[in-house]
């Protein structure tokens, strides 16, 4: 998201467009994730941390039922400190308790532009085709 949180944290929104697990490509997801981290290293600055891509939390909304197995696997392989940062929200109001509305897009009850408008703006500014 273009606006940092009050604690100067960058919010990254990832939306699963097609919930069918057969259409999910982990390699594309990792590629995009690495690109976001690369941009963060160049444009965001850490306060009190040497590495600015430290993940402070995972906030899941409308989590599909098939993905509960993924959460169980995550719990088995992640360190408890990291797993404690994973939260599954039943509604958008509970997300607003963690992430301020002014840092979220319109699609998630926030005051920023919609995700599609933000992506269009990024594409036009970066001259992507």
Domain extent, residue 35, equals: 21-126
Can you give the pLDDT of all 129 residues of the chain as single tens digits? 888 888 888 888 887 777 777 887 878 888 888 888 887 777 777 665 656 667 788 888 877 777 777 777 877 888 888 888 888 888 899 999 999 999 999 999 999 999 889 888 877 777 654
For residue 36, being part of any structural domain is answered with yes
For residue 1, being part of any structural domain is answered with no
For residue 100, being part of any structural domain is answered with yes
For residue 12, being part of any structural domain is answered with no
Q: How many domains does the chain have?
A: 1
- Do 52 and 41 meet the contact criterion of CB atoms below 8 Å apart? yes
For residue 9, being part of any structural domain is answered with no
For residue 6, being part of any structural domain is answered with no
For residue 40, being part of any structural domain is answered with yes
């Amino acid at each position: 998201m273009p606006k940092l949180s009050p604690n100067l944290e960058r919010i990254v929104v990832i939306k699963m467009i097609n919930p069918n697990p057969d259409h999910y490509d982990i390699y594309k997801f990792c590629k995009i994730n690495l690109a976001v981290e690369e941009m963060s290293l160049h444009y965001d600055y850490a306060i009190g941390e040497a590495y600015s891509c430290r993940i402070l939390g995972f906030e899941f909304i409308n989590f599909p039922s098939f993905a509960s197995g993924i959460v169980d696997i995550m719990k088995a392989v992640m360190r408890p400190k990291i797993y404690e940062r994973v939260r599954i929200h039943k509604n958008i109001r509970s997300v607003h308790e963690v992430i301020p509305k002014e840092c979220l897009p319109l699609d998630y009850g926030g005051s920023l532009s919609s995700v599609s408008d933000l992506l269009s703006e990024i594409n036009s500014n970066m001259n992507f085709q």
